[in-house]
Each structure stands twice: as C-alpha cells, then as structure tokens.
Copies of this chain bind each other. A is one copy, B any other.
Amino acid sequence: MNAPITHAQLQPQVCLRAVPEALLVALRERFGAQCSTALVVREQHGRDESAFTHVPPPSAVVFAENTADVADAVRLCAEHHVPVIPFGVGSSLEGHLLAIQGGISLDVSRMNRIVSVNAEDLTVTVQPGVTRKAVNEAVKDQGLFFPIDPGADASIGGMTATRASGTNAVRYGTMRDNVLALEVVTASGQVIRTGTRAKKSSAGYDLTRLMVGSEGTLGVITEITLKLYPLPEAISAATCSFPSIEAAVRTTIEIIQMGVPIARCELLDDNTVRMVNAQSKLNLREEALLLMEFHGSPASVEEQAQTVQAIAADNGGQAFEWATTPEARTRLWTARHNAYFAGIQSRPGCRAITTDACVPISQLANAILASVDEAKASGLPYFLVGHVGDGNFHMGYLIDPDSSAERQTAETLNHQLVARALALGGTCTGEHGVGLHKMGFLREEAGDGAVAMMRAIKQALDPHHILNPGKIFIA
C-alpha cells in the first residue's frame, strides 16, 4: 500500500446537502422540546473523540425517547432526503458522528431503559442509549455480567453499531458474538426485528450481524438483546513487567497458543506506563507491562495463573503482582481504561490519532515492534496500548491539531502501520470501525469487489443515502 495519504484522512470532505426549512418545521411540530436547533446543542452533537475538526454541526438535534420517535424522525428525514446521524454518548474515535453531509443528529441517549432481564436465559434486552456500565449495574444482583468493555462507558447502541470489543474480548468475544437480536428502524422508517432470543439460528440471512458494525449506515438500532454471563466464582488480576515489548508480546502469543482461557490480556509500553502512573498516581514499573485477568472457579483461576506465570518467567517477566481485592482490581482497570486520556493529558491541547490494527496472533510482535520503531524515529509523542490477546493494538499519536505537519506525520505512521498489518493477514480496524478515517484502508483491505458488494447493500437498503452517509465508504 504505497498510495498517497488522501485528503480525507487528514480532514474529511464536507459536502453539505440541503436541509429544507419545511423539515425543520415538521420536526419541531412533531417533537416540540425534543427537537433543538440551539448552536451549543448542535455543536455538542457535531463532534466526537476523533481528531477531525472544523466540520459544521448538524442542522438540528432530535432527542428520541422511544422507537416511534426514531421511526418518525427517520420518516420525516426520508421524505426530504436529509441525512440522519444516530448519536449515543459521542465516544466514537473515527468521526462517525460528524455531519459531513449535513442533516439531523438523532440522539438516542434518552432511550436508556433496561427493557427486560431474562436471568434464566442469560439475556438482557436494552434500549440503545443504555451504557455498558448501566447494563452491568442492572444485572449484577442476579449474579450476571455483560463483558464487552471498550473502555469508554459507551452506549450499547454505539457499541453495536461499531462492532465494539475491548479488554474482555479475548475470552468473551466482541459485539458480533454477544448481540442476539435487534430492533431496527430502516431507512424508510419501518420497524423490523432481527434474530430471536434463541442462542443460535439458521433462519435466513444474518441481518443481526449485518447491522452490527454497520455504523448507522443501514438502520437505526432501537433495541438490543445481549448475551450475559454468570459472574465468575473467582476473579484474579495481575500485572507483570517485562524487559522489552517483545518479551511481553511473546508471552501473550504463547498464552493464546496454549489455549489458556485468559479473560483479559492487555499491553502497555514503558512510555505509556509512565503516562498512566502520572495520571492515575500509580507506581507501576516503567517497563513494558501486561495487565491480565483470570475468571473461573478458584481451582481453574489458580491453574491458569500458574501456567501464565511459567510462560512469563520463561520470557523474562518480573514482578508478577496480584490484585485480588475488588478495589485493587478496579484501580488497575480504571488506570488501563484511562490510558487514552493519560496520553492526551501528557501533551496539553493535543488530539490523538489512534490506530486500531489487529493481526493474526503469530504476527503480533512483528506488527508492534516495527510500528514502535517508526513512531520513535518520527519524534511524535505517542502511547501504545493493546488488547494483545486478540492481536489488536492501538498507537495514539499525540498531535497539535493545528499543525498540519504533525497531522501528516501521524497519518504517515498510521499508513505504514496499517499496510504492515494487512500484509501480515490482519485488518485496519479491530474494534473502532471505519468511520471517516479508515475509508481508504478499507478499500485496501477488502478489495474493490467486496466494497462494491457493501455499496450494493447500502444502495438496496438506503436508496437515498440518508443513514449516516459518507461513512465506511463513499456510496
């Protein structure tokens, strides 16, 4: 992949479509105070955690409170061929929420009801504005939990739309694996259901999986049925420091190849440990670090831990430290989740351009080490964290958002990293989605034929391109 960095990667192409006054009148009439055109509200809904700036906000924000609201908002926008951009908590890293073709932001955060908990079946049905922490709060009294954990307290709707995963995916899978069924509003404002509460099905095309990861471009998700898991009888977390990133990654590869059912296996490099120590007031050894967690019966956790300790020791791992109390575990994982913000805070005023490649586990050391070398050589500050048990890692290049030179450098690094990941049999995005930022990468990865198939599906399901248009690919 030696194609030049496109303008779209540096800043998205904005091409506003008309939003007729008649639509705004109709929305105000239908939604009253649930529809806002106040600039501050629109601006809040016109940005996300991506490094993109300077895109005009949407023309209005509709705060949906139920499925009928979503259906009516979409139907009104469809009549006028105006874009609709679903909005949860705004934690996208890839520009998903930016109104690059103008239109209406459809905020579903008020749809935050737990519809039903079916503890006997290990399922829960929620509205899209429920966050992952709220799901866990709602089910913990029944001895259950929902494992998917992308760091941010993202909405379940957004996590579904981006096929999110995070620290627990190495054991419990991603949103792909943990969404059983959906209610979706189509581009014409029709309400459909996909899937059932049965654990498996061969009943026709897998519309659930088609919607999971469709980034708001094929339908607006209004209800999600998720798998739950019994809270493990025993949980142990541990940290282990390594003389090099390579040693930590080799340890990870061997853990996975041995089939150890590790629940979390996260990497921070020395540089990032330093940032986390500063932000979270911790005293972690400032070396490459694995943060791990083991779930199971007490005996199984003990057995897993012994296997992993032996592998770590073989690779020069030192200072294997246990966090056994819930408080110590929470402190550790909060620090891990704040690594992104620790990175951002290490350079006041910066934005992070974040990579998200995922490679076959055997290629992980190759992928990470070369990328770290390139980042060091560039002189740009960066952080490195990874869901390494999945072969997924994130470099965050910390740029001055007003410096086009730094943006260019970061994108060049990103480009090299992705090209390497693809050459190694991997993907440009393990969990963040394509959004605006990875459209060129998707073409390289999937090929023109597969992208043409995606376009044909988009065209069939959203002929006027009103659902989050201009994301994933140019339709």
Contact = CB atoms under 8 A, between A and B. Distances in A.
A165 B199 CA distance: 12
A303 interface: yes
Given A425-B198, A426-B197, A204 B361 contact: no
Contacts of A191: 449
Given A300-B299, A450-B207, A425 B196 contact: yes
A192 B456 CA distance: 14
A192 B447 contact: yes
B358 A192 contact: no
A392 interface: yes
Contact of A202 (B203, B209, B429): B429
A427 interface: yes
Interface in A393-434: 421-422, 425-434
B198 A358 contact: yes
Contacts of A390: 199-200
Query: Interface centre among A193, A206, A428, by most B CB within 10 Å?
Result: A206
A118 B190 CA distance: 45
A121 interface: yes
Contact of A204 (B205, B430, B472): B472
A449 B467 CA distance: 18
A427 B433 CA distance: 30
Interface stretch (A11-19, A131-139, A169-177): A169-177
A8 to B, nearest CB: 16
Nearest to A356: B202
A303 B432 CA distance: 38
A120 B257 contact: yes
Interface in A426-447: 426-434, 438, 441-442, 445-447
B203 A445 contact: yes
A229 interface: yes
Contact of A163 (B194, B206, B296, B472): B206
A192 B360 contact: no
Interface in A273-321: 296-297, 299-300, 303
B202 A451 contact: no
Contact of A360 (B162, B197, B214): B197
A398 B210 CA distance: 37
Contact of A206 (B164, B212, B422, B434): B212
B214 A205 contact: yes
A453 interface: yes
B194 A450 contact: yes
A445 B196 contact: yes
Contacts of A177: 173, 177
A203 B427 contact: yes
A213 interface: yes
Nearest to A302: B299
A230 interface: yes
A218 to B, nearest CB: 8
B360 A203 contact: no
Contacts of A460: 456-457, 459-460
B427 A206 contact: no
B202 A163 contact: yes
A473 interface: yes
A2 interface: no
Contacts of A253: 120
A255 B194 CA distance: 28
A359 B198 CA distance: 5
Interface in A342-401: 356, 358-363, 390-392
Given A120-B253, A202-B430, A229-B259, 9 more contacts: A120-B360, A121-B425, A186-B449, A194-B446, A194-B450, A198-B360, A199-B391, A203-B442, A460-B460
Task: List the 3 closest A-B pairs by CB distance, nearest first.
Answer: A209-B209, A460-B460, A120-B362
20 contacts: A120-B257, A122-B257, A123-B360, A186-B449, A191-B449, A192-B447, A192-B449, A192-B450, A193-B447, A198-B391, A199-B358, A199-B361, A200-B358, A200-B431, A204-B451, A205-B218, A206-B212, A210-B457, A229-B259, A300-B300
Interface of A: 118, 120-123, 162-165, 169, 173-174, 176-177, 186, 190-194, 196-207, 209-210, 212-214, 218, 229-230, 253, 256-259, 296-297, 299-300, 303, 356, 358-363, 390-392, 421-422, 425-434, 438, 441-442, 445-447, 449-451, 453-454, 456-457, 459-461, 472-473
